[in-house]
Amino acid sequence: MDVNTGAPQRAPLQARFQRLLATCAAMDASDLHLVPGQPPLLRREGQLSAIESEPPLTVLELHNLAADLLGKGQAQDLATRGDCDGALTAAGARFRFNVFKRCDGLCAAFRRLGEGFRGLRELGLPESLYQLCELPDGLVLVAGPTGAGKSTTLAALLDRINRNHACNIITIEDPIEYVHTAGQGLVSQRQVGTDCSGFYEALVAALREDPDVIFVGEIRDLDTIRTAITAAETGHLVFTTVHAGDCVGVIERMVSVFPASEQDGIRRQLSFVLRAVITQQLLICDGGTPARRNGTPDRRSRVVASEVLMVNGAVANLIATAKSSQIYSAMEVGGTQGMQTLEQDLARLHVAGHISETAALAFAKNPRTLRDRVNHLRVGSRPASPSIPREAPQ
């Protein structure tokens, strides 16, 4: 939505709000927090700090700001659920927001999204992931904690498809974060709560809208997961996000949603339709060598550590037979097919000087495996088949 709305009597408040968003963008902050009785807060390089030049917002100001921002459906969610999501464009940037109630009034958190679409190399992800854009069908899952850049990664993949393929892309999002304009084909973006009532209902409807590619912002419940799998089975390419810590955890979480009596069947279905799992998280670049953005060093940036599972015949068999603990061995030796474990990527980032050993060890699931991969990279040899047992996934 556009922020240039609201009652004329609230024009000074709107001007101040736009100034705060512009400050967020100009200072390269990731988030802006508005809380009653406190100066506005920015998150930069992972740390919160107040904008000292700005006075605190009052309870009434935040109430009026919310009234200007929210549509009818969002206001209803706020009243009944206690919070609501949305997105807006201002100060030359796109922002995702959440307005929520607390004991002393309304608060709002704004996440600044990337400006335009960025390529996988610029994001710090393997360019081999572009092969996913050529798939005719199947299910692609992207996982990671909140704020890890899942939406940005998927936006890069969808933009690639949009620019290079004459196809019908339907997205179901809450909220719409990156706006796609038609490229070679057609893009229809639907926002939950505004254009449709929920992910499941919109996904069912999408199957009647002649899609080639479907992006579901998040699959949280059994019905949506079941329908996404069915869509992938029936000749559609489906992208979606899941909250899980690693690739095997993603698969196990998908299966565990179903009743025990259905889980064997779901494993077999997943083994047929799952094409790839990507997990990622953002790490502060603290290793002395800054990451590079548009070819120039960016000392304030964070770097992506990722894990990639490409589902080949061997991996599909492990999924179908519930031998998930063996999938990591396939990932360790699957580099030529675009696979990598988290330890392999952490080792790469550490040897390249982007992250410190302390940071790498803090995120590694198996510190011994990480040290082994670092040693292999430093002597310039390719890691052999894993000889150190991987810790059981959590």
DSSP 5-54: -S-GGGHHHHHHHHHHHHHHHHTT-SEEEE-BTS--EEEETTEEEE-TTS
For 330-360, how does the pLDDT look when each residue is reduced to its tens digit (9 = 90+)?
999 999 999 999 999 999 999 999 999 999 9
Q: Using alpha carbons, select from 146, 194, 145, 149 the residue that is nearest to residue 173.
A: 194
Q: Specify the pLDDT at position 2.
A: 45
Question: Looking at the structure, do residues 278 and 184 belong to the same domain, yes or no?
Answer: yes
331 in any annotated domain: yes
Among 112, 129, 161, where does a domain finish? 112
Look up tokens 């094409």; give the residue. 275
The CATH number covering residue 43 comes to 3.30.450.90
Q: Using alpha carbons, select from 218, 200, 253, 230 the residue that is nearest to residue 394.
A: 253
pLDDT band with cut points at 50, 70 and 90 for residue 290: low
Answer yes or no: is pLDDT of 12 > 60: yes
Answer yes or no: is pLDDT of 301 > 90: no
Q: Specify the pLDDT at position 131.
A: 97
Question: Which residue type is seen at 358?
Answer: T
Question: Looking at the structure, do residues 14 and 130 belong to the same domain, yes or no?
Answer: no
Question: Which residue type is seen at 385?
Answer: S
Answer yes or no: is pLDDT of 195 > 50: yes
Question: Looking at the structure, do residues 81 and 163 belong to the same domain, yes or no?
Answer: no
Q: Name the pTM for this structure.
A: 0.84
Spell out the residues 6+ positions from residue 68 whose beta carbon is closer than 8 angstroms to its own. Answer: 3, 5, 6, 7, 10, 13, 14
Arithmetic mean of pLDDT, 239-243? 93
CA-to-CA distance for 39 and 224, rounded, in angstroms?
Answer: 41
Question: Looking at the structure, do residues 191 and 43 belong to the same domain, yes or no?
Answer: no
Among 92, 112, 132, where does a domain finish? 112
CB 393 within 8 A of CB 329: no
Among 48, 79, 112, where does a domain finish? 112
392 in any annotated domain: no
Which of 87-101, 203-217, 265-279 comes out lowest in average pLDDT?
Answer: 87-101
The CATH number covering residue 156 comes to 3.40.50.300
Question: Looking at the structure, do residues 124 and 98 belong to the same domain, yes or no?
Answer: no
CA-to-CA distance for 267 and 286, rounded, in angstroms?
Answer: 40
Question: Looking at the structure, do residues 177 and 55 belong to the same domain, yes or no?
Answer: no
SS3 336: helix
- The domain total for the chain is 2
Range of the domain at 218: 120-379
363 in any annotated domain: yes
Arithmetic mean of pLDDT, 65-92? 89
Question: Looking at the structure, do residues 240 and 321 belong to the same domain, yes or no?
Answer: yes
390 in any annotated domain: no
**Alpha-carbon distances, residue 365 vs 106, 325, 341 (angstroms):** 39, 14, 10
393 in any annotated domain: no
Question: Looking at the structure, do residues 33 and 75 belong to the same domain, yes or no?
Answer: yes
Spell out the residues 6+ positions from residue 252 whose beta carbon is closer than 8 angstroms to its own. Answer: 244, 324, 393
Look up tokens 């990591």; give the residue. 328
Q: Which two tokens stand for residue 337?
A: 């097919």
